[in-house]
Amino acid sequence: MDKSYIIFNEKKHPSICHDKEVENFLSYLANQRNVAPRTQALALNALALLYNHIIKKPLTLELNFNKSSISPKLPVVLTKSEISMFLSNVREPYDLQCKLMYGSGLRLMEAIRLRVQDIDFDYQSICIWQGKGGKNRRVTLATELLKELKYQIDYVRLIYKKDINNKVYAGVWLPNALAKNFQMLHLN
C-alpha cells in the first residue's frame, strides 16, 4: 500500500506528506478504485503504522475521508414457479439430487456424497457428515421426496443383487490400503 500511496502523491516522500494526503488517498481508494471497506481499513492501518513507528509523526485521530461502502450482495433466489420449471427440465439421474439440494438444502458435494445409511426415514431427516467447514449436521428430508428416495434405494438394491449373482462381476475397485484391510478381515 505504501508504494501506491507514494505514487498517488506524485512520488513525494511520505515524510513530506501527512494528514491531508492520507485523507485524499483513502478517499481516492473509496471513490475511484472502489475498494472494499476492509481494503481501505488495511491501507489506513498500514499508513498509521508508517507514520507512527517509522516516520515518528503520528496521524491525527480526526482524519476526514470518504469511507468505502460496498453494498452487500444479496443472494439470487428463484421463485417457486422458476424452481418448478427448473426441476421439471432436469432429467434422470440428476433430478433426485437436484430435488434433494432444493428440498433439504444440501450443498452439491453433500448431495453427491450422500449414502443410504445417512437417510433417516423415521425422523424424515438426513445426516450430513463432514459438510462445509468439516461440520456435521442434520437436515429435514422433504416429505415429497420420500417415495422417490425409497424407489431409488430399491432400484439400486436390485442392481446390486444382479451384480452379485453375475459370475463375471469382479467387485468394485478399492484403494490399495482399503483392499488389504478387507482381505485381512476375510482371512480371519
Compute the distance between CA of residue 172 and CA of residue 162 in angstroms, rounded to an integer: 14
| Domain extent listing, the chain | 2-54, 80-162
Specify which of 27-41, 61-75, 161-175 reaches the highest per-range mean pLDDT: 27-41
Task: Indicate the residue type of 132.
Answer: K
**CA gap 19, 3 in Å, rounded:** 17
CA distance 144 to 151: 13
More confident residue, 173 or 57: 57
pLDDT tens digits, residue range 102-143? 999 999 999 999 999 999 999 999 999 988 888 999 999 999
**pTM score of the predicted model:** 0.53
Q: What is the pLDDT of residues 140-179, one digit of tens each?
A: 999 999 999 999 999 999 998 998 888 888 777 666 766 6
Q: Residue 1 has which C-alpha cell?
A: 500500500
- Classified by CATH at the fold level, domain 2-54 comes out as DNA polymerase; domain 1 (1.10.150)
| pLDDT score for 126 | 96
CATH number for the segment(s) 80-162: 1.10.443.10
Cα separation of 144 and 99, whole Å?
Answer: 9
